[in-house]
Structure 1
Amino acid sequence: MIFIYLILFPCIVRCEHIATHAVKEKPNLKNETAGPDVVDVKYFYETFCPKCIKFERQFENAINLLSTRLFIQTYPYGKSKITLKNGKVFIKCQHGRKECYGNKLHACVLKYFSNHTEAVLFNICMMHINGSNDATAKKCSQKFNVNVNPILKCAKGIEGVHLLKYYGEESRKANFERIPFVLVNGAHVRWNGSDFSRVLCGEFKQPPPNCSKISLRGIDNHNGTLGNGTKLMHYKNV
């Protein structure tokens, strides 16, 4: 169990809304990873939060290094708000309409990619290229060699709205106050800018070979200190 110390300031609130009629949609939650010594990672974020964008560079490195031993679930919703009125769904996003659409793009990628790890990396790609929108989706689709049209159609239509509604319901269950919000093996992790791969490697009973590339010297994941006594992490169940 991990709780990495950091004060994370919430993203600035600027809300808009979208609406449509109600249908039921759920994402593709299939994950390729299985086995007895797998670290579970749940990541709650929104597409235009600066701290989320910064964290995702570390997240991408961790995925590339350890993906075969990680069970990853991501939730592109953040601090958005959903209300239901007269059979319609209203969504308000912290960074306005552009973020509502970006969150829907991410949700649709998770639904339409057959490989979940690649879906997560595709979404990280969009966040790295100046925002999550149609242009970045098309650019990342060239990198990943996928047909982006079903994703764009999903994000522009009723399906994307209700995928976002699903992620909103899951995000409320996590009951977080700030983003990025990360759970590792069920414990809340507050990222402090340190190497996220290093944190994950400390969770394996038998670390995979790639962890040998990362210095774990001095980490004690059970008392929250480095070998020199500097406070790095402590734990809290949620």
Structure 2
Amino acid sequence: MNMKLSGLIVVFLLLCVERRSSGMSHPKPSCSYPPSQWCRSLEIAIACKVQKQCMEVNATRPNQSVPPVSVTLYYESLCPESRSFITQQLFPTWTMLQDIMTVTLVPYGNAKEIQSANSPFSCQHGEPECRGNMIEACIIHLTSHSAFQIINCMESSADVVSAARPCVQLYAPSVSWSSVNSCVTGHTGNQLMHAHAAMTRALSPPHTHVPWVTFNGEFSEENEVKAMSSLFSLVCQLYKGVKPPVCTGATVRLNRGFC
């Protein structure tokens, strides 16, 4: 969710408070989408009655002909350093710069494929991490736009695995937990993890630790150091188009009408 959308939510809440305080009754909003998705499509904007505000937000977005910065994170669901990077660097940066960056999450890390009747994978932090990795792989597969919010919700929790179900219910209410569980316990989950294993093994240079971050498909120690200290600044630096106002600190003036 970007800064303008955050302001929109505040205005909406203030209007609700004013109506309640004045004794006016009003129906519950019909919008079933989380605020982060209000401007994803015209249909959602109309359903949530925010089409005018979304048009204003879209008017300030960067030139879409310039490719966004592609950030790919290779990580493990229970690795403390991976969790810190997701919750303190990657997700906050994406929240502010999602118009100029894309994020690909690859939950696998230092896991290994093994020949076993019980589980085809072994993980650095044991079976709970293997389950967490597969749950997050299935969430990415099933929830599309909401996946990053759900995974950040999980990684921010005291118990990553136990938080999965309520986080899915919060950010992707249309996705049933049974579909996630079927993916995890069925053939699809193993296929997804095998694909993540192949992606991780194909890294050049090979990864030596997690979190391991590539930018536009490439890894460099210089970018890794910058990403761990200020990913936001690095993404602004790497973007080849006109920097958005949030990168430059410039103020944005929108034409607004008043009655």
TM-score where L is the length of structure 2: 0.63
In structure 2, distance between residues paired with 1:179 and 1:160: 22
Equivalent of residue 230 in structure 2, options 175, 195, 214: 195
Give SS of 1:36's match.
coil
Q: How many residues align?
A: 178
Task: Report what 1:128 is aligned to.
Answer: 156
In structure 2, distance between residues paired with 1:142 and 1:89: 27
Taking the TM superposition and a 5 Å limit, the aligned residue runs for 1:66-215 are 66-84=97-115, 90-115=120-145, 118-133=146-161, 135-146=162-173, 147=175, 148-174=177-203, 175-188=206-219, 189-191=223-225, 193-205=228-240, 206-213=242-249
Question: 1:140-193, CA deviations, whole angstroms, 9 ceiling, x for partnerless residues?
Answer: 123214233311221122321221111001110012111100011233232464
Question: 1:35-80, CA deviations, whole angstroms, 9 ceiling, x for partnerless residues?
Answer: 4231011110000111101111210111101112212211100000
Cα separation, partners in 2 of 1:76 and 1:171, compared to 1, 3 Å: same
Cα separation, partners in 2 of 1:157 and 1:213, compared to 1, 3 Å: farther
In structure 1, distance between residues paired with 2:142 and 2:65: 25
1:199 deviation in Å? Answer: 1.0
Question: 1:97-117, CA deviations, whole angstroms, 9 ceiling, x for partnerless residues?
Answer: 0000000001001110132xx
Is residue 37 of structure 1 aligned with residue 67 of structure 2?
Answer: yes
Contact 1:47–1:131 at 8 Å: present in 2 too? Answer: no
In structure 2, distance between residues paired with 1:43 and 1:166: 15
Contact 2:154–2:163 at 8 Å: present in 1 too? Answer: yes
In structure 2, distance between residues paired with 1:59 and 1:137: 19
Task: Report what 1:52 is aligned to.
Answer: 82
Structure 2, unaligned stretches of length 5 or more?
1-40, 42-63, 251-259
Cα separation, partners in 2 of 1:124 and 1:36, compared to 1, 3 Å: same
Q: Report the AA paired with residue 140 of structure 1.
A: C
In structure 2, distance between residues paired with 1:48 and 1:123: 12
Contact 2:149–2:171 at 8 Å: present in 1 too? Answer: no
Give SS of 1:43's match.
strand
Contact 1:76–1:103 at 8 Å: present in 2 too? Answer: yes
Contact 2:107–2:133 at 8 Å: present in 1 too? Answer: yes
Structure index of larger Rg: 2
Q: Report the AA paired with residue 138 of structure 1.
A: R
Whose relative contact order is higher, 1 or 2, with alpha carbons under 8 Å and at least 6 apart? 1
In structure 1, distance between residues paired with 2:73 and 2:108: 10
In structure 2, distance between residues paired with 1:108 and 1:95: 19
In structure 1, distance between residues paired with 2:149 and 2:187: 24
Contact 1:44–1:75 at 8 Å: present in 2 too? Answer: yes
Cα separation, partners in 2 of 1:143 and 1:191, compared to 1, 3 Å: farther
Structure 1, unaligned stretches of length 5 or more?
1-31, 215-238
* RMSD, aligned α-carbons: 2.3
